[in-house]
Structure 1
Amino acid sequence: MSNIDIILPEKAADIGNFLVGRLLPFRQKRSVGPFVFIDHMGPTHMKDTENLEVAPHPHIGLSTLTYLFDGAITHRDSLGNAMEITPGAVNWMTAGKGVTHSERTPESLRHKDKYMHGLQIWIAMPKDKEDIDPNFAHFDADSIPSWEEKGVTFKLIAGQIGEHISPVPVYSKLYMLELKSQDAVTVNLVDQLYGESGLYIVNGKIKNQEIEYEPGFLLITKDAHLCTFEMEANTTVYIFGGEPFPEERLIYWNFVSSSKEKIDKAKEDWKNHRFPLVPNDDGYVPLPGN
């Protein structure tokens, strides 16, 4: 019997001037463990006149995780960080009580043809951590744990699986895994996952209970115990999840919180320009409806 509870296709959404495939949230499923938002950016070819332009915007109550397969993004935030994100690196920004950041094409690529492909993820914070001071961490690709097991190459982008621990400073029990197959292979992670779990197919195909699933689909399981599934050759999937929180998480625009009052305050603070500024980026994304 299949353990897959929900099968969701990507849906289109806009961020700045960039079209993405939105995976979470959906009406049927607002979160998977602490993961509350996932966008699949690209793959997109951008001309020399096209650039990613996500002007300064605010966050509260979450950590953002950016992971690129191709291309590059310059991250700037109100803490003073300026970092170029490249493929395989993990960019991790914790908003806590409030942070502002922007995401733009690096200067070195602004007048060149380029590709953009990757994932942008929001991870909710435990209730007792929602008001901590914001912080930032960046990890180069070679610092992310990787290993091979029964014909599959694994990378642990964040969290913990068995004895493997990512250096990314998470705040709750979670995991974000990349799996790549060179040949057709059967995968069984029944004894390693915990909490809730989702699987997203980037390329190739997987098969579960004789049903094939293609790129662009998100499979959400009834619990963490993913059934054994088959990966065809040259397939890449991402498995993410962890322990869900006891309280519901509310999402309005870029704000995530267990408290409606905190979200309302963040809305007023942003509308009235009370969030910190991003050095060397004077853009501004208005509050929706304003």
Structure 2
Amino acid sequence: MSNILLTAEQDCDALEVPCQAIELILSPRVADLGGFFVRRLLPTSKRKMVGPWIFFDEMGPADFSPGDGINVRPHPHIGIATVTYLFEGEILHRDSVGSLQPIRPGDVNLMVAGRGITHSERERPDITSVAHRLHGLQLWLALPEQHEETDPGFHHYKADEFPVLTVDDVSVRLMIGSAWGATSPVQQFSETLYAEAILKAGQSLVLPDTAERAVYVVEGALKAAGSYLPTHSMTVFSRGELVTVTADEDTRLVVIGGEPVGRRFIEWNFVSSRKERITQAKDDWQAGRFDKVIGDEVEFIPLPDIARG
């Protein structure tokens, strides 16, 4: 999940595309965590961010036997807000500001790291005691410079709080931002877009016009601007182009985008506009200066060797 290190340079290969509307089509780096796959789309060597989004993982779908499940020990973040969104399953979130919140399909957990937060992601015993499935997305928003050192916080939004729209007969849920004439209740720190759409084969959807935007195909396949967009691909579209995506088959997609916030450095779970701030965060984690997760104070993930340099 958020603390996984994917270091192999299989980097999301850019496919050749014949149209100005498409900047890049990315394919994921995949990590097998013992039967549990994580697909990483951002950041890559070819594309670091889309708008303010600096990290994009799809976790699963994974089927767990009784006694198995997600068990991510406490770990730190700075300089970002994390977004967790599930299609299936449940995760129990705890953090150092005292939050204790299960997240279920359709909900959004927005955790504001700011100057520093620690959290864990586990499962409740009644979930792990039976066979279960987990499938979802974890994303990070780079905070604008004026908010990088804001106080940490946590916000939970239930599934029924989000606008559900019908756009040209396509079902759309708007989780963050304003689009298609609707606005999400989720807190924003800069212009941000995050939406989910479910298209039946043959249906089309016109994407919102934002400064930067990309589409991730969770299930199914799309066509756009004369190019084929397969399952698990992320397509980054050019600015100022009217873009329509059309489903080749029944498809679930996610749209992300927004206004860029400027260059960011990223190392392990730390993001900042300043390299020296990341160095400080690494030192603080090694020295035990981050606040502990309330109710999960014993275990923690050590700073990886790759982040010690």
C-alpha displacement at 1:240, in angstroms? 0.3
Counterpart of 1:212 in structure 2 is 228
Tell me, in whole angstroms, the C-alpha distance in 2 between the residues paired with 1:114 and 1:53. Answer: 14
Tell me, in whole angstroms, the C-alpha distance in 2 between the residues paired with 1:176 and 1:218. Answer: 14
When residues 109 and 224 of structure 1 are mapped into structure 2, their CA distance, relative to the original with a 3 A threshold, is farther
C-alpha displacement at 1:211, in angstroms? 3.0
Aligned length: 287
Say whether residues 1:147 and 2:174 are aligned partners: no
Higher deviation after alignment, 75-84 or 13-22: 13-22
Say whether residues 1:231 and 2:252 are aligned partners: no
Say whether residues 1:199 and 2:221 are aligned partners: no
Counterpart of 2:195 in structure 1 is 177
- State how 1:57-206 maps to structure 2 within 5 Å: 57-189=75-207, 192-206=208-222
Counterpart of 2:257 in structure 1 is 241
Match of 1:22, SS state, is: strand
What do the CA deviations read for 1:82-116 (whole angstroms, capped 9, x no partner)?
A: 00000000000000000000001222111111101
What do the CA deviations read for 1:259-283 (whole angstroms, capped 9, x no partner)?
A: 1111111000000100000112121
Tell me, in whole angstroms, the C-alpha distance in 1 between the residues paired with 2:255 and 2:167. Answer: 16
> 20, 33, 40: which is aligned to 2:38?
20
Counterpart of 2:27 in structure 1 is 9
C-alpha displacement at 1:170, in angstroms? 1.3
When residues 252 and 14 of structure 1 are mapped into structure 2, their CA distance, relative to the original with a 3 A threshold, is farther
Tell me, in whole angstroms, the C-alpha distance in 2 between the residues paired with 1:17 and 1:129. Answer: 38
Match of 1:270, SS state, is: helix
Tell me, in whole angstroms, the C-alpha distance in 1 between the residues paired with 2:283 and 2:32. Answer: 24
Tell me, in whole angstroms, the C-alpha distance in 2 between the residues paired with 1:184 and 1:270. Answer: 51
Tell me, in whole angstroms, the C-alpha distance in 1 between the residues paired with 2:74 and 2:293. Answer: 7
Counterpart of 2:299 in structure 1 is 283
C-alpha displacement at 1:23, in angstroms? 1.0
Query: RMSD over aligned Cα, in angstroms?
Result: 1.7
Tell me, in whole angstroms, the C-alpha distance in 2 between the residues paired with 1:133 and 1:15. Answer: 33
When residues 41 and 224 of structure 1 are mapped into structure 2, their CA distance, relative to the original with a 3 A threshold, is farther
Report the AA paired with residue 148 of structure 2.
E
C-alpha displacement at 1:5, in angstroms? 1.1
What do the CA deviations read for 1:159-188 (whole angstroms, capped 9, x no partner)?
A: 222531111111000100101113421222
Gaps of 5+ in 2: 1-18
Counterpart of 1:255 in structure 2 is 270
Tell me, yes or no, if the aligned pair for 1:6 and 1:220 is still in contact at 8 Å: yes
Tell me, in whole angstroms, the C-alpha distance in 1 between the residues paired with 2:265 and 2:33. Answer: 20
Tell me, yes or no, if the aligned pair for 1:201 and 1:236 is still in contact at 8 Å: yes
Tell me, in whole angstroms, the C-alpha distance in 2 between the residues paired with 1:14 and 1:243. Answer: 33
Tell me, in whole angstroms, the C-alpha distance in 2 between the residues paired with 1:26 and 1:224. Answer: 24
Q: Give percent identity, aligned residues only.
A: 39
Tell me, in whole angstroms, the C-alpha distance in 1 between the residues paired with 2:289 and 2:271. Answer: 18
Match of 1:175, SS state, is: strand
What do the CA deviations read for 1:37-86 (whole angstroms, capped 9, x no partner)?
A: 01100011111131111100000000000000000000000011000000
C-alpha displacement at 1:234, in angstroms? 2.2
Gaps of 5+ in 1: none
Report the AA paired with residue 244 of structure 1.
P
Counterpart of 2:288 in structure 1 is 273
Tell me, yes or no, if the aligned pair for 1:70 and 1:118 is still in contact at 8 Å: yes
